[in-house]
Structure 1
Amino acid sequence: MGRMISGRTLCAMMLAAALAACNGAWDLEKPAVPLGDFKLGHNIVVAPKVQKVPLSRELDTDVMINTLQEAVSERFDRYDGDKLYHFGISIESYFLAPPGVPLVAAPKSAMIIRITVWDDAQNRKLTPKAKQITVIESIDQGPIVGSGFTSTAEEQFKNLSQNAVKQIETFLVGRNREEGWFEGEPAADEAAQEGTAQEAG
Protein backbone atom coordinates (compact mmCIF):
# COMPACT_ATOMS: atom_id res chain seq x y z
CA MET A 1 0.00 0.00 0.00
CA GLY A 2 1.15 3.50 -0.76
CA ARG A 3 2.10 6.34 1.52
CA MET A 4 -0.35 7.03 4.34
CA ILE A 5 -2.19 10.35 4.29
CA SER A 6 -1.18 12.79 7.00
CA GLY A 7 -3.52 14.84 9.13
CA ARG A 8 -2.38 17.98 7.30
CA THR A 9 -3.20 16.41 3.95
CA LEU A 10 -6.61 15.38 5.24
CA CYS A 11 -7.35 18.92 6.40
CA ALA A 12 -6.42 20.28 2.98
CA MET A 13 -8.55 17.61 1.34
CA MET A 14 -11.58 18.52 3.43
CA LEU A 15 -11.17 22.24 2.90
CA ALA A 16 -10.99 21.73 -0.85
CA ALA A 17 -14.28 19.86 -0.74
CA ALA A 18 -16.12 22.12 1.68
CA LEU A 19 -18.09 23.91 -1.01
CA ALA A 20 -19.41 20.59 -2.29
CA ALA A 21 -20.69 19.40 1.06
CA CYS A 22 -24.42 19.63 0.30
CA ASN A 23 -26.44 16.43 0.32
CA GLY A 24 -25.65 14.72 -2.96
CA ALA A 25 -29.06 13.05 -3.15
CA TRP A 26 -31.14 16.20 -2.75
CA ASP A 27 -32.12 16.46 -6.44
CA LEU A 28 -32.71 12.83 -7.35
CA GLU A 29 -36.48 13.31 -7.38
CA LYS A 30 -36.11 16.12 -9.92
CA PRO A 31 -35.52 15.69 -13.68
CA ALA A 32 -31.90 14.91 -14.51
CA VAL A 33 -29.70 17.78 -15.64
CA PRO A 34 -29.50 17.64 -19.48
CA LEU A 35 -26.45 15.67 -20.61
CA GLY A 36 -26.82 15.31 -24.36
CA ASP A 37 -26.71 11.79 -25.77
CA PHE A 38 -25.32 10.25 -22.55
CA LYS A 39 -26.31 6.76 -21.45
CA LEU A 40 -24.29 4.90 -18.82
CA GLY A 41 -22.72 1.66 -19.97
CA HIS A 42 -20.17 0.01 -17.68
CA ASN A 43 -20.19 1.15 -14.06
CA ILE A 44 -16.84 -0.08 -12.79
CA VAL A 45 -15.57 0.75 -9.30
CA VAL A 46 -12.29 -0.59 -7.91
CA ALA A 47 -10.18 0.04 -4.83
CA PRO A 48 -6.89 -1.82 -5.34
CA LYS A 49 -4.77 0.54 -3.26
CA VAL A 50 -7.32 2.35 -1.13
CA GLN A 51 -5.82 4.11 1.89
CA LYS A 52 -7.59 4.46 5.22
CA VAL A 53 -6.70 7.73 6.88
CA PRO A 54 -5.47 7.29 10.47
CA LEU A 55 -8.24 7.32 13.12
CA SER A 56 -10.88 6.48 10.51
CA ARG A 57 -13.49 3.84 11.15
CA GLU A 58 -12.98 0.58 9.27
CA LEU A 59 -15.20 -0.43 6.35
CA ASP A 60 -14.91 -3.50 4.17
CA THR A 61 -13.59 -2.71 0.69
CA ASP A 62 -16.36 -4.69 -1.02
CA VAL A 63 -18.96 -2.67 0.87
CA MET A 64 -17.36 0.56 -0.33
CA ILE A 65 -17.25 -0.64 -3.93
CA ASN A 66 -20.87 -1.79 -3.91
CA THR A 67 -22.09 1.38 -2.20
CA LEU A 68 -20.38 3.65 -4.71
CA GLN A 69 -21.62 1.58 -7.65
CA GLU A 70 -25.17 1.84 -6.31
CA ALA A 71 -24.83 5.61 -5.99
CA VAL A 72 -23.56 5.85 -9.58
CA SER A 73 -26.52 3.81 -10.84
CA GLU A 74 -28.97 5.78 -8.73
CA ARG A 75 -27.97 9.02 -10.44
CA PHE A 76 -26.85 8.04 -13.93
CA ASP A 77 -29.39 5.35 -14.78
CA ARG A 78 -31.83 8.26 -15.13
CA TYR A 79 -30.10 9.23 -18.39
CA ASP A 80 -31.37 7.54 -21.52
CA GLY A 81 -29.34 9.00 -24.37
CA ASP A 82 -28.41 7.41 -27.68
CA LYS A 83 -24.76 6.58 -26.98
CA LEU A 84 -22.95 4.58 -24.33
CA TYR A 85 -20.28 6.01 -22.06
CA HIS A 86 -18.40 4.00 -19.46
CA PHE A 87 -17.09 4.92 -16.00
CA GLY A 88 -13.94 3.54 -14.41
CA ILE A 89 -13.75 4.78 -10.82
CA SER A 90 -11.01 4.14 -8.30
CA ILE A 91 -11.45 4.77 -4.58
CA GLU A 92 -8.14 6.27 -3.50
CA SER A 93 -8.58 7.07 0.19
CA TYR A 94 -11.24 7.57 2.83
CA PHE A 95 -11.83 8.85 6.34
CA LEU A 96 -14.97 7.81 8.19
CA ALA A 97 -15.34 10.03 11.21
CA PRO A 98 -15.22 8.33 14.62
CA PRO A 99 -17.47 9.59 17.44
CA GLY A 100 -14.94 12.21 18.52
CA VAL A 101 -15.51 14.41 21.55
CA PRO A 102 -18.63 16.62 21.63
CA LEU A 103 -17.94 20.35 21.95
CA VAL A 104 -14.29 19.70 21.14
CA ALA A 105 -14.12 17.83 17.84
CA ALA A 106 -16.77 16.75 15.36
CA PRO A 107 -14.66 15.49 12.44
CA LYS A 108 -16.19 15.12 9.00
CA SER A 109 -15.92 12.03 6.83
CA ALA A 110 -14.10 12.42 3.52
CA MET A 111 -12.78 10.48 0.54
CA ILE A 112 -10.90 10.87 -2.73
CA ILE A 113 -11.81 9.09 -5.95
CA ARG A 114 -10.53 9.18 -9.51
CA ILE A 115 -12.76 8.71 -12.54
CA THR A 116 -12.03 7.88 -16.17
CA VAL A 117 -14.79 8.35 -18.76
CA TRP A 118 -14.87 6.26 -21.96
CA ASP A 119 -16.72 6.96 -25.19
CA ASP A 120 -17.93 3.53 -26.34
CA ALA A 121 -18.61 4.45 -29.99
CA GLN A 122 -15.17 6.01 -30.48
CA ASN A 123 -13.42 3.52 -28.18
CA ARG A 124 -11.39 6.27 -26.53
CA LYS A 125 -10.96 8.00 -23.21
CA LEU A 126 -12.60 11.38 -22.81
CA THR A 127 -10.34 11.87 -19.80
CA PRO A 128 -6.73 11.12 -20.87
CA LYS A 129 -5.82 11.83 -17.25
CA ALA A 130 -8.23 10.55 -14.61
CA LYS A 131 -10.26 13.27 -12.93
CA GLN A 132 -9.65 13.42 -9.18
CA ILE A 133 -12.62 14.29 -6.99
CA THR A 134 -12.43 15.09 -3.30
CA VAL A 135 -15.61 14.96 -1.25
CA ILE A 136 -16.72 15.39 2.36
CA GLU A 137 -19.95 14.30 3.94
CA SER A 138 -23.01 16.51 3.95
CA ILE A 139 -22.87 19.02 6.78
CA ASP A 140 -26.23 18.23 8.33
CA GLN A 141 -25.24 17.35 11.88
CA GLY A 142 -24.18 20.85 12.86
CA PRO A 143 -20.75 21.83 14.22
CA ILE A 144 -21.22 20.13 17.61
CA VAL A 145 -22.25 16.54 16.93
CA GLY A 146 -20.47 14.73 14.11
CA SER A 147 -21.76 11.82 12.07
CA GLY A 148 -19.59 9.51 14.15
CA PHE A 149 -22.28 9.76 16.82
CA THR A 150 -25.33 9.62 14.57
CA SER A 151 -24.41 7.32 11.66
CA THR A 152 -22.85 3.92 11.05
CA ALA A 153 -19.75 3.59 8.90
CA GLU A 154 -21.95 2.26 6.09
CA GLU A 155 -24.25 5.28 6.31
CA GLN A 156 -21.29 7.64 6.31
CA PHE A 157 -19.87 6.05 3.18
CA LYS A 158 -23.25 6.13 1.43
CA ASN A 159 -23.41 9.87 2.12
CA LEU A 160 -19.91 10.31 0.72
CA SER A 161 -20.77 8.22 -2.34
CA GLN A 162 -23.88 10.24 -3.15
CA ASN A 163 -21.92 13.47 -2.80
CA ALA A 164 -19.10 12.13 -4.98
CA VAL A 165 -21.49 11.04 -7.72
CA LYS A 166 -23.18 14.45 -7.69
CA GLN A 167 -19.75 16.00 -8.24
CA ILE A 168 -19.17 13.60 -11.14
CA GLU A 169 -22.42 14.77 -12.72
CA THR A 170 -21.43 18.41 -12.25
CA PHE A 171 -18.05 17.67 -13.85
CA LEU A 172 -19.65 15.96 -16.86
CA VAL A 173 -22.21 18.74 -17.36
CA GLY A 174 -19.39 21.29 -17.34
CA ARG A 175 -17.30 19.38 -19.86
CA ASN A 176 -20.31 18.87 -22.09
CA ARG A 177 -20.98 22.60 -22.12
CA GLU A 178 -17.34 23.44 -22.79
CA GLU A 179 -16.34 20.65 -25.17
CA GLY A 180 -19.56 18.95 -26.32
CA TRP A 181 -18.58 15.55 -24.94
CA PHE A 182 -22.08 14.14 -25.27
CA GLU A 183 -23.37 16.09 -28.24
CA GLY A 184 -22.33 13.75 -31.05
CA GLU A 185 -19.16 14.37 -33.07
CA PRO A 186 -19.33 17.96 -34.30
CA ALA A 187 -15.64 18.06 -35.20
CA ALA A 188 -15.96 15.03 -37.48
CA ASP A 189 -19.15 16.40 -39.03
CA GLU A 190 -17.50 19.74 -39.78
CA ALA A 191 -14.50 18.01 -41.36
CA ALA A 192 -16.80 15.94 -43.57
CA GLN A 193 -18.72 19.03 -44.63
CA GLU A 194 -15.49 20.88 -45.41
CA GLY A 195 -14.26 17.93 -47.51
CA THR A 196 -17.54 17.84 -49.42
CA ALA A 197 -17.33 21.59 -50.09
CA GLN A 198 -13.76 21.27 -51.39
CA GLU A 199 -14.75 18.44 -53.73
CA ALA A 200 -17.68 20.47 -55.01
CA GLY A 201 -15.36 23.46 -55.53
Structure 2
Amino acid sequence: MKLFRTFFAVIATLTLVACGEAKMVTEETPMLALGDFAFGHNIVVAEGMQKGAFSRNAEPEEIQTSLTAALAERLGRYDGGKLYHLGIKVEAYALAMPGIPLLFKPKSAYILTVTAWDDAAGGKLNAEPRVLTIFEGTSAQTLVGSGITRKKEEQIDILSRNAARRIERWLEENGEWFGVESKGAETTQEEDTAAALELLTANTDPAALAAAEKAAAAEKAAMDAE
Protein backbone atom coordinates (compact mmCIF):
# COMPACT_ATOMS: atom_id res chain seq x y z
CA MET A 1 0.00 0.00 0.00
CA LYS A 2 1.20 3.48 -0.85
CA LEU A 3 0.40 4.54 2.71
CA PHE A 4 3.40 2.60 3.99
CA ARG A 5 5.83 3.87 1.38
CA THR A 6 5.30 7.56 2.14
CA PHE A 7 5.90 9.03 5.57
CA PHE A 8 4.67 12.35 6.92
CA ALA A 9 7.44 14.71 8.06
CA VAL A 10 5.67 15.34 11.35
CA ILE A 11 3.06 13.07 12.98
CA ALA A 12 1.34 13.11 16.32
CA THR A 13 2.79 10.75 18.89
CA LEU A 14 0.34 7.99 19.73
CA THR A 15 0.71 5.08 22.10
CA LEU A 16 -1.81 2.29 21.81
CA VAL A 17 -2.84 0.56 25.02
CA ALA A 18 -0.50 -2.39 25.33
CA CYS A 19 -2.18 -5.68 26.01
CA GLY A 20 -0.75 -8.87 27.41
CA GLU A 21 0.68 -11.49 25.11
CA ALA A 22 -1.75 -13.99 23.65
CA LYS A 23 -1.19 -17.49 24.98
CA MET A 24 -1.34 -20.59 22.84
CA VAL A 25 -4.93 -21.65 22.16
CA THR A 26 -6.20 -24.49 24.36
CA GLU A 27 -9.60 -26.00 25.15
CA GLU A 28 -9.92 -23.40 27.92
CA THR A 29 -9.34 -20.40 25.63
CA PRO A 30 -12.59 -18.38 25.55
CA MET A 31 -14.43 -18.10 22.25
CA LEU A 32 -16.11 -14.90 21.13
CA ALA A 33 -19.66 -14.44 19.86
CA LEU A 34 -19.09 -14.72 16.10
CA GLY A 35 -22.53 -15.98 15.06
CA ASP A 36 -22.47 -18.01 11.85
CA PHE A 37 -18.73 -17.56 11.26
CA ALA A 38 -16.75 -20.54 10.02
CA PHE A 39 -13.18 -20.01 8.85
CA GLY A 40 -12.65 -20.62 5.15
CA HIS A 41 -9.58 -19.57 3.18
CA ASN A 42 -6.63 -18.43 5.30
CA ILE A 43 -4.56 -16.25 2.97
CA VAL A 44 -1.46 -14.52 4.33
CA VAL A 45 0.88 -12.62 2.00
CA ALA A 46 4.21 -11.33 3.28
CA GLU A 47 6.13 -10.73 0.05
CA GLY A 48 7.28 -7.13 -0.24
CA MET A 49 6.88 -6.38 3.46
CA GLN A 50 8.89 -3.44 4.75
CA LYS A 51 11.44 -3.86 7.51
CA GLY A 52 11.13 -1.39 10.38
CA ALA A 53 14.00 0.45 11.99
CA PHE A 54 16.24 -1.33 14.53
CA SER A 55 14.91 -4.70 13.41
CA ARG A 56 16.33 -8.15 12.93
CA ASN A 57 15.94 -9.62 9.48
CA ALA A 58 13.05 -11.98 8.76
CA GLU A 59 12.16 -13.81 5.57
CA PRO A 60 8.59 -13.47 4.27
CA GLU A 61 8.12 -17.23 4.58
CA GLU A 62 8.95 -17.16 8.29
CA ILE A 63 6.25 -14.63 9.13
CA GLN A 64 3.74 -16.03 6.64
CA THR A 65 4.05 -19.57 8.04
CA SER A 66 3.79 -18.44 11.66
CA LEU A 67 0.85 -16.11 11.11
CA THR A 68 -1.05 -18.64 8.99
CA ALA A 69 -0.68 -21.24 11.73
CA ALA A 70 -1.75 -18.83 14.49
CA LEU A 71 -4.88 -17.83 12.55
CA ALA A 72 -5.82 -21.45 11.87
CA GLU A 73 -5.34 -22.31 15.54
CA ARG A 74 -7.49 -19.46 16.85
CA LEU A 75 -10.17 -19.02 14.16
CA GLY A 76 -10.42 -22.64 13.09
CA ARG A 77 -12.32 -23.32 16.34
CA TYR A 78 -15.45 -21.63 15.01
CA ASP A 79 -17.98 -23.88 13.25
CA GLY A 80 -20.82 -21.53 12.26
CA GLY A 81 -23.08 -22.21 9.32
CA LYS A 82 -21.38 -19.94 6.75
CA LEU A 83 -17.88 -19.70 5.35
CA TYR A 84 -15.89 -16.50 5.59
CA HIS A 85 -12.41 -15.94 4.19
CA LEU A 86 -9.59 -13.68 5.37
CA GLY A 87 -6.89 -12.05 3.30
CA ILE A 88 -4.00 -10.62 5.32
CA LYS A 89 -1.12 -8.62 3.89
CA VAL A 90 1.96 -8.10 6.07
CA GLU A 91 2.84 -4.53 5.14
CA ALA A 92 5.75 -4.17 7.55
CA TYR A 93 7.42 -5.80 10.52
CA ALA A 94 9.94 -4.97 13.23
CA LEU A 95 11.73 -7.48 15.45
CA ALA A 96 13.62 -5.71 18.25
CA MET A 97 17.31 -6.50 18.01
CA PRO A 98 19.96 -6.71 20.74
CA GLY A 99 22.41 -3.90 21.26
CA ILE A 100 20.00 -1.02 20.57
CA PRO A 101 19.90 1.52 23.43
CA LEU A 102 16.46 1.79 25.05
CA LEU A 103 16.29 5.50 24.22
CA PHE A 104 15.56 4.42 20.62
CA LYS A 105 12.48 2.54 21.88
CA PRO A 106 13.02 -0.63 19.85
CA LYS A 107 9.69 -2.42 19.34
CA SER A 108 8.59 -5.69 17.84
CA ALA A 109 5.50 -5.26 15.71
CA TYR A 110 3.51 -6.25 12.65
CA ILE A 111 1.61 -3.83 10.46
CA LEU A 112 -1.17 -5.69 8.68
CA THR A 113 -4.00 -4.92 6.30
CA VAL A 114 -6.95 -7.29 6.59
CA THR A 115 -9.92 -7.99 4.33
CA ALA A 116 -12.84 -10.30 5.16
CA TRP A 117 -14.88 -12.08 2.46
CA ASP A 118 -18.36 -13.60 2.54
CA ASP A 119 -18.16 -16.87 0.61
CA ALA A 120 -21.89 -17.15 -0.15
CA ALA A 121 -22.19 -13.51 -1.28
CA GLY A 122 -18.90 -13.71 -3.16
CA GLY A 123 -17.75 -10.29 -2.02
CA LYS A 124 -15.79 -8.26 0.49
CA LEU A 125 -17.28 -7.40 3.85
CA ASN A 126 -15.02 -4.36 4.32
CA ALA A 127 -14.63 -2.16 1.24
CA GLU A 128 -11.21 -0.90 2.31
CA PRO A 129 -8.60 -3.09 4.04
CA ARG A 130 -8.47 -2.62 7.82
CA VAL A 131 -5.05 -1.53 9.07
CA LEU A 132 -4.01 -3.29 12.28
CA THR A 133 -0.82 -2.50 14.19
CA ILE A 134 0.20 -5.41 16.38
CA PHE A 135 2.76 -5.09 19.17
CA GLU A 136 4.54 -7.79 21.08
CA GLY A 137 2.90 -6.78 24.34
CA THR A 138 4.14 -5.76 27.75
CA SER A 139 5.93 -8.25 29.96
CA ALA A 140 8.98 -8.45 32.18
CA GLN A 141 10.94 -9.46 29.08
CA THR A 142 9.76 -6.77 26.69
CA LEU A 143 10.24 -3.95 29.18
CA VAL A 144 13.99 -4.29 28.65
CA GLY A 145 13.68 -4.95 24.94
CA SER A 146 12.84 -8.43 23.69
CA GLY A 147 15.86 -8.34 21.39
CA ILE A 148 17.92 -9.10 24.48
CA THR A 149 15.70 -11.75 26.04
CA ARG A 150 14.13 -13.52 23.05
CA LYS A 151 15.20 -15.21 19.86
CA LYS A 152 13.78 -14.03 16.56
CA GLU A 153 11.57 -17.10 16.26
CA GLU A 154 9.99 -16.38 19.65
CA GLN A 155 9.26 -12.78 18.68
CA ILE A 156 7.60 -13.89 15.44
CA ASP A 157 5.45 -16.53 17.14
CA ILE A 158 4.27 -14.13 19.86
CA LEU A 159 3.45 -11.42 17.33
CA SER A 160 1.54 -13.95 15.23
CA ARG A 161 -0.52 -15.12 18.21
CA ASN A 162 -1.22 -11.51 19.16
CA ALA A 163 -2.24 -10.77 15.56
CA ALA A 164 -4.61 -13.75 15.43
CA ARG A 165 -6.25 -12.65 18.69
CA ARG A 166 -6.58 -9.06 17.44
CA ILE A 167 -8.15 -10.20 14.16
CA GLU A 168 -10.57 -12.40 16.12
CA ARG A 169 -11.50 -9.32 18.17
CA TRP A 170 -11.89 -7.25 14.98
CA LEU A 171 -14.38 -9.81 13.67
CA GLU A 172 -16.32 -9.49 16.95
CA GLU A 173 -16.33 -5.72 16.50
CA ASN A 174 -18.19 -6.35 13.24
CA GLY A 175 -20.62 -8.93 14.53
CA GLU A 176 -23.37 -7.74 12.20
CA TRP A 177 -21.47 -9.51 9.41
CA PHE A 178 -22.22 -12.79 11.16
CA GLY A 179 -25.74 -12.11 12.37
CA VAL A 180 -24.90 -11.06 15.93
CA GLU A 181 -24.47 -7.79 17.81
CA SER A 182 -21.29 -5.85 17.10
CA LYS A 183 -18.94 -5.05 19.96
CA GLY A 184 -17.13 -1.80 20.65
CA ALA A 185 -13.90 -1.22 18.76
CA GLU A 186 -10.64 -1.89 20.60
CA THR A 187 -8.83 0.70 18.48
CA THR A 188 -9.96 2.82 15.55
CA GLN A 189 -8.62 2.72 12.00
CA GLU A 190 -7.10 6.16 12.59
CA GLU A 191 -5.31 5.06 15.76
CA ASP A 192 -3.86 1.95 14.15
CA THR A 193 -2.70 3.92 11.12
CA ALA A 194 -1.07 6.60 13.28
CA ALA A 195 0.71 3.92 15.32
CA ALA A 196 1.95 2.31 12.10
CA LEU A 197 3.32 5.62 10.84
CA GLU A 198 4.97 6.34 14.17
CA LEU A 199 6.66 2.96 14.12
CA LEU A 200 7.96 3.41 10.59
CA THR A 201 8.95 7.08 10.80
CA ALA A 202 12.26 6.09 12.43
CA ASN A 203 13.32 4.84 9.00
CA THR A 204 13.49 8.46 7.81
CA ASP A 205 15.96 9.59 10.50
CA PRO A 206 19.46 8.70 9.19
CA ALA A 207 21.21 10.05 12.30
CA ALA A 208 19.16 7.84 14.60
CA LEU A 209 19.71 4.82 12.38
CA ALA A 210 23.45 5.43 12.21
CA ALA A 211 23.69 5.82 16.00
CA ALA A 212 21.71 2.65 16.56
CA GLU A 213 23.79 0.67 14.06
CA LYS A 214 26.99 1.90 15.73
CA ALA A 215 25.69 0.87 19.15
CA ALA A 216 24.65 -2.55 17.85
CA ALA A 217 28.06 -3.09 16.24
CA ALA A 218 29.83 -2.16 19.48
CA GLU A 219 27.60 -4.53 21.45
CA LYS A 220 28.33 -7.38 19.01
CA ALA A 221 32.08 -6.71 19.13
CA ALA A 222 31.99 -6.80 22.94
CA MET A 223 30.10 -10.11 22.92
CA ASP A 224 32.52 -11.63 20.38
CA ALA A 225 35.46 -10.59 22.52
CA GLU A 226 34.16 -12.42 25.59
Same fold (TM over 0.5): yes
Structure 1 match to 2:42: 43
* 1:28-107 aligned within 5 A: 28=26, 29-101=28-100, 107=106
Structure 2 match to 1:121: 120
Identity of aligned residues (%): 42
Normalising by structure 1, we get a TM-score of 0.77
Structure 1 gap ranges (5+): 185-201
Say if 1:4 and 1:51, in contact at 8 Å, map to a contact too.
no
> When the two structures are aligned, how many residues end up with a matched partner?
177
Aligned partners of 2:102 and 2:164: how far apart in 1?
31
Say if 2:47 and 2:60, in contact at 8 Å, map to a contact too.
no
Aligned partners of 2:10 and 2:144: how far apart in 1?
22
Residues 58-107 of structure 1, C-alpha deviations (whole Å, 9 max, x = no match): 01110110000011011101101111000000000011001135775662
TM superposition shift of 1:5: 6.6
TM superposition shift of 1:142: 5.2
Residues 29-71 of structure 1, C-alpha deviations (whole Å, 9 max, x = no match): 3231121000000000002320001321001110110000011
* 1:173-188 aligned within 5 A: 173-176=172-175, 180-183=176-179
Normalising by structure 2, we get a TM-score of 0.69
Aligned partners of 2:56 and 2:123: how far apart in 1?
38
Aligned partners of 2:10 and 2:19: how far apart in 1?
19
Structure with bigger gyration radius? 1
TM superposition shift of 1:138: 1.6
Aligned partners of 2:10 and 2:152: how far apart in 1?
23
Q: Which runs of 4+ in 1 moved over 4 A?
A: 4-9, 101-106
TM superposition shift of 1:153: 1.1
Superposition RMSD in Å = 2.7
Cα 1:160–1:6, aligned 2, differ >3 Å: closer, same or farther? farther
Aligned partners of 1:103 and 1:128: how far apart in 2?
39
Residues 90-140 of structure 1, C-alpha deviations (whole Å, 9 max, x = no match): 000011001135775662211200110000011110011011100110211
Aligned partners of 2:10 and 2:155: how far apart in 1?
22
Cα 1:6–1:24, aligned 2, differ >3 Å: closer, same or farther? farther
Aligned partners of 1:98 and 1:84: how far apart in 2?
40
Aligned partners of 2:41 and 2:63: how far apart in 1?
18
